[in-house]
Amino acid sequence: MKRTIIVLAVAITMLIFINCGPATGVKEDQIVETKKIEKVEAPKENKALTDADKMDIAKYSSYAQTKKKQKKYREMISYINQIFDLDPNFQYAKDILLFWRGGGYEELGIADSALADYENFLLIRPDYEAALVKLDYIYATTDELDKAIEVTLKLSELKPDDNDLNKKLGKYYFQKVQKLKEENEEDPEIPELAETAIEYFEKYVEINPDDEEINTLSTQLTAVFMDKDVLIEKYMSNLEKNPEDYSTMTKLGEIYYKDGLNDKANELFEKVLQNNPNDLKIIKRLIRINKNNVSKAITYNLKAIELEPDNENYNLSLAKLYKEKNQFTKARSECKKSISKNPNNKNAYKIWAQIYTAAVVACETEIQYEDKLVFIIAYGLFEQSGDTRRLHSMKEGGQVPSKMDYFQNKSITAPTRDCYKWINMEWEEAKYIEKYIKGL
């Protein structure tokens, strides 16, 4: 009976420590000095933990968590150190404490110890994203580019859809090229590293084509660190020997593409695509090269949707292309498909609105009240896109009705001109007309 009471008392005490942390009247253990932590060597031999050890580990873990929340990092580290003295191999203690301690050292400016803890933690949990992010930052800021690249490649494996990692890797390789060039301009590794940087930049700009910084860096790499004329001569020689060397075709096409020689690039990329109709990268290049050839661009966007059906941006590209051909119903349909894939893409509402403004222009008449009703639909869609500047411009420019317009044209409730017959007044966006009029 006495033994049972003692066990219950111990259990209740541990619960109190875990839930409450250091409480009033409880004497906290003496705070020890933080010290520089070296990278873990061989693990210490496991020793059998007593019930008292486990109770102390639970108690110190609770104290450490409390101090972490209070941002009292030196005290947090002290408690974690006491836990590791008891249980260096995490038989009972949680390994996340090692990551916490690294964060504490980082907050205190003890960079070497923070780095060692993060590295040691990754030996235990190599896929822990937060630790990889911490190490990436430390390596990048201390100019350890090879380690930064290694960590970022690991992050890229864990987050294959994070396109910013391609940008980061491109920049890291760019920095390596710059460092090697400063040390030895003739270093044979430079062209290879430059090509790797360009590849990562190309992956990034496929999704972010308007990033001027990365486009500039990619062009600079090609122009400064790689002899373009020599490359062209080499690739053309390869194709003479092997006309079906599609890898070389792709590389040569990329050079022509970057130089704006779209006809030459297009010819090569189309040959590559004939060999591999599912090469999405080539399809994306052909979409951009043929942006002014509406029919071809539509064909390539439709193919891209087959290969990457969840990417709403192809639908938006199609919407703009159909708008160019005044095929407004098809354009609207693509906007709807895009929003069904990604309701948070505000650009879809903007393009949807532009379909209606383009329809007004296509009617080729002076702006009358009916046209202003169509502009109201565009106005409502621009509002959903968050384009407040455009809303202000439409009101100031008299594109949407004023109170006077409404009172003079009360009998007109919908656009009826032939050029607006494609608009179905049951569509959700058509209801913006009634909503806007009520607000006048």
Q: What is the pLDDT of residues 386-435, one digit of tens each?
A: 999 999 999 999 999 999 999 999 999 999 999 999 999 999 999 999 99
pLDDT at 21 over 50: no
Instruction: Look at residue 182 in the predicted model and tell me its pLDDT.
Output: 87
pLDDT for 323: 97
Asked, for residue 86, whether it belongs to a domain, the answer is yes
Q: What is the pLDDT of residue 35?
A: 47
Q: Would 198 be classed as within a structural domain? A: no
Mean pLDDT of 342-370: 93
**44 burial via Cβ count (<10 Å: 0-12, 13-18, 19+):** exposed
Q: What's the whole-number mean pLDDT along residues 132-143? A: 93
180 found inside a domain: no
The reported pLDDT for the residue numbered 107 is 94
- Alpha carbon 283 to its chain centroid, in Å, reads 22
- Only one residue has tokens 């317009």, namely 405
Specify the CATH number for the domain of residue 72. Answer: 1.25.40
- Is 430 domain-assigned? yes
Confidence of residue 36 (pLDDT cuts 50, 70, 90): very low
Domain boundary among 69, 98, 125: 125
Beta-strand runs (E) in 310-388: none
Is 34 a member of any domain?
yes
Most confident of 123-137, 174-188, 194-208: 123-137
The CA distance from 195 to 184, in Å, is 18
Model confidence at 311, in pLDDT bands (50, 70, 90)? very high
169 is a domain residue: no
Residue 14: pLDDT over 70: no
pLDDT digits (tens, 9 = 90+) for 261-277: 999 999 999 999 999 99
Query: Residue 393 belongs to what domain range?
Result: 345-440
Q: Final residue of a domain: which of 125, 154, 178?
A: 125
Number of domains observed in the structure of the chain: 2
Q: How many CB atoms lie within 10 A of CB 152?
A: 23
Spatial distance between the Cα atoms of 149 and 286, rounded to a whole number of angstroms: 31
Please identify, among 94, 125, 156, the residue that sits at the C-terminal boundary of a domain.
Answer: 125
Has residue 163 got a pLDDT over 80? Answer: yes
Give domain status of residue 311, yes or no. Answer: no
Q: Which residues contact 117 (CB under 8 A, 6 or more apart)?
A: 37, 98, 99, 101, 102, 105
* Res. 184 pLDDT band, cuts 50 70 90: confident
Mean pLDDT of 298-306: 96
- pLDDT band, residue 122 (cuts 50/70/90): very high
Read off the pLDDT of residues 318-352 as tens digits, 9 standing for 90 and up.
Answer: 999 999 999 999 999 999 999 999 999 999 999 99
pLDDT at 211 over 90: no
Q: Pick the residue with more confidence: 398 or 251?
A: 398
Q: Is residue 109 part of a domain?
A: yes
pLDDT bin (cut points 50, 70, 90) of residue 440 is confident
